[in-house]
Amino acid sequence: MSYVGIVLISHSNKVAEGIKDIIRQVIKEVPIEIAGGTDENDIGTSIEKIQLAIDRANSGNGVLLFYDIGSAKMNAEVALEMTEIDDIKIIEAPLLEGAYVAAVESGMGKDLNDVYYAIMKEFG
């Protein structure tokens, strides 16, 4: 089964890894990738890391991008413009809670729009 993928974008690699660990306690099959920290693993974000995470999370059913603060959204938007994948959405929801809901919904086999609307219903 193809699932909607999830990318966790954070200024801290540890934060992104921690959120992924929390979700993995319950949801194992949904593709979840992280893009945390700069290319030098400092605090910040990296367009290249985001692009690579999008590619890895894409199993053909779309990808949702969750971010923490400030430039993470801006870099997600740039990465979105640079990718050739059509079915990607940047989500305006709390990073942990939003990604958790997305993973649960994706794990039920829902498509990109259904997962997106479930998140918006909860947090929008």
Catalytically annotated residues: 11
Q: How far apart are CA 59 and CA 121, in angstroms?
A: 25
Q: How far apart are CA 110 and CA 16, in angstroms?
A: 24
Tell the burial category of 21 from Cβ atoms under 10 Å away from its Cβ (0-12, 13-18, 19+).
exposed
Q: How far apart are CA 32 and CA 56, in angstroms?
A: 8
